[in-house]
Amino acid sequence: MTNMKPPLVLFIFISVSLEALPVSVTGDNVGAYHPTDDIAVDCGSNTSFLVGRRNWIGDAADSSDYSPNEKTHSSTAAEASSSSPSIPSAAPYLTARLSRSEFAYTFHVNAGPKFVRLHFFPSDYPNFRRVDSFFSVEAAGYTLLRNFSASHFADYSPSVGFFSKEFCLSVGEDQILKITLTPTPGNSDAYAFVNGIEVVSMPERLYYNAVIDSNEGIKFAGQTTPYTLDTTKALEAVKRLNVGGQYVSPAYDTGMYRTWEADDEYVTSSYTGVFSFNTTTQLNYGEQVPNYTAPDSVYTTARTMGTHKNINLSYKLTWSVVVDTNFTYLVRLHFCQCQMEINEPLDRVFKIFMNSQLVDADVISWSGKGVPVYRDFTVAPYDGGKKRTNLSVALGALLHGSTFYSDAILNGLEIFKISDPDRNLAGLNSDPTPPASKASSSLSKAAKIAVVAGGTSGFTVLSLLAFFLYRRRNRAKDSTSSDGTSRWGPVSHATTKSTKSRGSSLPSDLSRHFSLAEIRAATNNFDKVFIIGVGGFGNVYKGYVDGGATPVAIKRLNQGSQQGLHEFRTEIEMLSQLRHLHLVSLIGFCKDAGEMILVYDYMARGTLKDHLYNTDNPPLPWKQRLEICIGAAWGLHYLHSGAKHTIIHRDVKTTNILLNEKWVAKVSDFGLSKVGPTRESKTHVSTAVKGTFGYLDPEYYRRQRLTDKSDVYSFGVVLFEVLCARPAVSRMAPMEQISLAEWAQSCCKSGSVEEMVDPHLKGAIALECLNKFCEIAMSCLQDEGAKRPSMNDVVWGLNFALQLQVSTELEVKDHAGVSVHDSDDSDHDAASIRGSGSDEAINTSDSDSGGWKSSRETVTSTRAGSNDVCDESMTSYDSEKLP
């Protein structure tokens, strides 16, 4: 095995080994249900493809059982003209069946409820333009989609180019299931297409006629009249979330190939709660909630509220999903009470608010310990004349006295749209359902809506932004003003004790302890082919845990690494307390047999740097770059002022900004090099200047005073790197251009900014947006730290720049009738498979240090008391008080 990893080979290896991983975790219920009808059609393909254990049957082979019937025999089987790096497998996405006239598929299936999934990959196909798909889909007499534009949907949803729509409907005795696709009439370019169709049976009482116990059927939230979901209704799955857990792929469902998403992006409360894990828990499925209801991984992960009463009582843990109004929704909440300290009824009673209606919950008394249970509710969200609104589910704690623990729990959440009396599931038009998400994306969405509503008036946008940011800032302040205990409670003991001996003092310990055996299984005994990054500290591997359900990045510290046990503990302690959408999360650690291993969320798209000037990757469109910058700025803002103490990153650069599969930016590597006293010990940081050349704050360099403004400086360099798509230091460039920071400053001062802009972005950046962006980046590079903006100001400014871009594009669109479209992702290999921490020492280090390793070595700590020197961290406090 060589050190060079041909990315494609790596990719294939990983997919293969994912399938080969044993699925033998305790109580594992993967495949617990065997569907009687299990059909997967790869539309437009003349062969069959085995993906995982499923056979996707081509509909274009002469002998195919699933060839469509057509009114005019004019449908076309074709291959997509482009691919997308994120497509999980060729089948069913890379071929499609398309037609400008009606066509239909028929399925001879058993009677009973079925899942019908339609898979789409909107792309240009020979003779069919991506933007022209407008069509309706009917099945078994229900309208599933009407005048639906797949490209529009993909562009405005968080999907990554391809997506599927899942429906549930019941097929009667002797009924043939017919699925008809019809292009929207009156538009000669309109065509209908589909890439894949699945028909899979489901248990009779999974969603239909599900009864929990005799006196509780599905109820309108807060009302006592039961509602029957009988088989005359069809459902569309709107969202299916593994709360507090990870994405569960169809292969790891209970046999019905459902997809369970991670819930991070749908948590909209100011606090996102904490995760609780206990892999050793043996789940006991009862008769009411059989073992196929949801994967074990849904019931063994959850979110709870926090460890502090004042925090638990101060907020409601909330999930929001945007839905069409004028429909009724079925909301299923999954629970499983596995935590050690919760044993008796009344131990943990909480309230569930569903669009402001109220239900009391006491999971233990519903089902008992370790017994999965769910509750169904129906909600009819109404929001004036609006087409869409947020459907929200909120959990609230009760005061001590009404319950023993003021806390709440949720393990899983499913939301379905119920067909209306006209047997229709389609919204009013093809408008997409934008995702409800936090921080930057919901902000930009809110602002986009305001731009539309307020026409070209920028004022609406601004006041909306101001309000939003004001709110966020105050929330952040609230969290710092709690009393002396940590927000998320003690975690440090965990590093010295094994899982089994962790006492009851650590009930909601955030860091999961992995055994070395688990880590070895996850990485095939540290097989080199799993390496996704190499640094001074050791290797980073990609691995899968939880029986293959969860991809993770595993950082194995060199045995001989300078990093001592103390730093290892510090990182775990620090990271465990930091949970933010824009920070890479630490999942757990392993400290067996002298190993020091950290396990993080896997970031599918690697580093920001990879997407700026790595020619393996297609250039990122401008708006996406802006959104990534905004996300990273949020992450740093949280480090500086959202956590208990100011945390200075000290090594902000494009290799430390990682991207997940949905392009959400996450700041990484803020664990080992950070400043800020911990609760038990004061940390003293050597004053030797460390960091990465090219990003280094000159003031810090001169005065050796480290403040949060040093991160702001580095972030300014990142902004210019994003704008210009070139490294912070470029040795081969002409003298005056070697340092990006210097060159950028001189260009901005001489008004020749356009010279340095990434040629791929020529003409794509609105002038006002460019000016604003440069103004922010320049202010970050101010020589004097005190003159630089705070990260909060940077977030604010970048959002404003984004709005300037968006409103200019809307104006252009209004005036010219042209839609502003980001081009398709072009074909691309799997080079983006990198893990968190895939940080290579940049080979332009300054002489005394530079690179990853040495910057970590500078963290030293003493256990002495108050006499400790901690001037740098004090500086950072002082600076926070500056106006």
CB of 746 to ligand NAG, least distance (A): 28
Between residue 438 and residue 457, which ones bind ligand NAG under the rule CB under 6 A? 442, 445-446
Which is closer to ligand NAG, CB of 170 or CB of 406? Answer: 406
Task: State yes or no: cis peptide before 698, omega within 30 of 0.
Answer: no
Element (H, E) at 496: none
DSSP state of 225: S
CB of 659 to ligand NAG, least distance (A): 22
Residue 220 near residue 377 (C-beta atoms within 8 A):
yes
DSSP state of 24: -
- The pairing of strands 261-262 and 235-242 is parallel
Residue 729 near residue 722 (C-beta atoms within 8 A):
no
Which is closer to ligand NAG, CB of 306 or CB of 676? Answer: 306
User: Rounded CA gap, 306 and 312, in Å?
Assistant: 6
Which is closer to ligand NAG, CB of 438 or CB of 625? Answer: 438
Q: Does 581 bind ligand NAG (CB under 6 A)?
A: no
> End-to-end alpha-carbon separation of the chain, Å?
56
Instruction: Specify burial of residue 2 (Cβ count, 10 A radius: 0-12, 13-18, 19+).
Output: exposed
Which is closer to ligand NAG, CB of 161 or CB of 850? Answer: 850
Residues ≥6 apart with Cβ < 8 Å to 349: 360, 361, 362, 398, 402, 403
User: Rounded CA gap, 802 and 442, in Å?
Assistant: 13
Which is closer to ligand NAG, CB of 317 or CB of 870? Answer: 317
Q: Which of 708, 707, 730, 706 is nearest to 720 (CA)?
A: 730
Which is closer to ligand NAG, CB of 259 or CB of 325? Answer: 325
CB of 535 to ligand NAG, least distance (A): 10
Q: Does 325 bind ligand NAG (CB under 6 A)?
A: yes
Between residue 806 and residue 845, which ones bind ligand NAG under the rule CB under 6 A? 840-841, 843
Q: Does 415 bind ligand NAG (CB under 6 A)?
A: no
Which residue is catalytic, options 263, 324, 651, 839? 651
Which is closer to ligand NAG, CB of 389 or CB of 687? Answer: 389
Q: Does 188 bind ligand NAG (CB under 6 A)?
A: no
Hey, is 158 helix, strand or coil?
Answer: coil
CB of 494 to ligand NAG, least distance (A): 9
Each residue 454-473 as x (binds ligand NAG by CB under 6 A) or -, in order, gives: --------------------
Among the residue ranges 65-73, 256-264, 405-413, 645-653, the one whose residues contact ligand NAG (CB under 6 A): 405-413
Furthest CA-CA distance within the chain = 87
Q: Does 539 bind ligand NAG (CB under 6 A)?
A: no
CA 290, 291, 295, 298 torsion-angle sign: positive
Q: Does 305 bind ligand NAG (CB under 6 A)?
A: yes
Among the residue ranges 232-240, 358-366, 423-431, 678-686, the one whose residues contact ligand NAG (CB under 6 A): 423-431
Q: At which residue do the structure tokens 């297409």 appear?
A: 193
Q: Does 280 bind ligand NAG (CB under 6 A)?
A: yes
Q: At which residue do the structure tokens 């050349």 appear?
A: 693
Each residue 351-390 as x (binds ligand NAG by CB under 6 A) or -, in order, gives: ----------------------------------x-xxxx
Residue with smallest beta-carbon separation from ligand NAG: 309
Identify the residue among 54, 219, 309, 520 touching ligand NAG (CB under 6 A). Answer: 309
Instruction: Specify burial of residue 11 (Cβ count, 10 A radius: 0-12, 13-18, 19+).
Output: middle
651 an active-site residue? Answer: yes
Q: Does 29 bind ligand NAG (CB under 6 A)?
A: yes
Residue 210 near residue 414 (C-beta atoms within 8 A):
no
Q: Does 862 bind ligand NAG (CB under 6 A)?
A: no
Q: Does 312 bind ligand NAG (CB under 6 A)?
A: yes
The 10 Å CB-count burial string (b at 16+, else e) for 414-440 is bbbbbbeeebebbbeebbbbbbbbbbb
Residues with catalytic function: 651
Residue ranges in contact with ligand NAG by CB under 6 A = 29, 32, 46, 79, 134, 147, 184, 186, 268, 278, 280-281, 291, 304-307, 309, 312, 320, 322, 325-326, 340, 385, 387-390, 405-407, 428-430, 436, 442, 445-446, 499, 502, 507-508, 840-841, 843
